[in-house]
Amino acid sequence: MNDRAWGIQLYTVRDLCREDLEGTLAALAEMGYREVEFENYHGHSAAAVRAMLDRHGLSAPSSHVDLEALTTGLDQAITDARTAGHHYLVLRWIPESQRTPEGLKAIADQLNRAGARLASAGLAVAYHNHYFEFAPLPIGAGALTAYDLLLERTDPALVFMQLDLFWIRKGGQDALRYLASYPGRFRMVHVKEMAADGSMVDLGRGAMDWPALLSASVGAGVGHFFVEHDQPADPLAFARGAIRYLRTVPLQGP
């Protein structure tokens, strides 16, 4: 049994968080989670969120944010991150209108600028993928895929990656190859299970090789592991089963 400090992306339990954020955090802590990743404070202030985390022995090393938070709203985002205890602000999504080579280059430049500002505040920026980033770009775009373009155009000292292990597979690419090719660039992963038919299922009930994926993640420098399911039938039952399963996965690496 491994004793890593497993985390959960709170999007998994978003409806419960909306109704009772502190009660949901308490339930997750009781299951053994030690980290959570926010995507919404559900009307609470950063100070109130930090107090809830402290009361239940949790930390929130990262939070998903939109592009506005990393541009015009960056001052407030930095203040909130420091208060809540986040280290990483993670860009969650690129609008479809910006998924062109030129749009992606502009996003990369914005990430570099945000990364420099965040670094001066003792924080960092990261990017979370879905599947569209792995579709081939037009010839002459300067990179094979949008993900390759973002990796190549962003400063590795300022912009890190949060690799969603479900979505990269959905996009037809190999997470192990990326982890091996960019050691130190990936700081977090989303641990989501895919069945043989490509659907999202509960962790441990699919076709993904978690001993290999998680061990490679550790070896590549990943420090935070957040389980997630976009539409679990029973969010708390999923969360309970996920951490139970993860504790049985043999891991190699530091």
In a domain, 122, yes or no: yes
In angstroms and rounded to an integer, the radius of gyration of the C-alpha atoms of the chain is 18
Q: Which of 46, 102, 61 is nearest to 189 (CA)?
A: 61
Report residue 96 as tokens: 């479809």
Residue span of the structural domain in which 46 resides: 7-246
Closest CA to 13 of 30, 37, 32, 46: 37
**What's the structural domain count of the chain?**
1
* Longest Cα–Cα distance in the chain: 53
Q: What is the DSSP string of 218-249?
A: HHTT--EEEE--SS-SSHHHHHHHHHHHHTTS
75 found inside a domain: yes
pLDDT beneath 50, residues of the chain:
1
pLDDT attached to residue 254: 67
For the chain, how many residues are written? Answer: 254
- The tokens describing 72, both together, are 């015009």
Q: Domain of 30: which CATH number?
A: 3.20.20.150
Q: Structure tokens of 4?
A: 């890593």
CA 252 to chain centre: 21
pLDDT at 3: 75
Does residue 86 fall inside a structural domain? Answer: yes
Is the residue at 139 inside a domain?
yes
Q: Which amino acid is at 59?
A: S
What is the structure's pLDDT at 1? Answer: 45
Tokens linked to 128? 């979370």
Give the strand pairing for 186-191 and 59-65.
unpaired
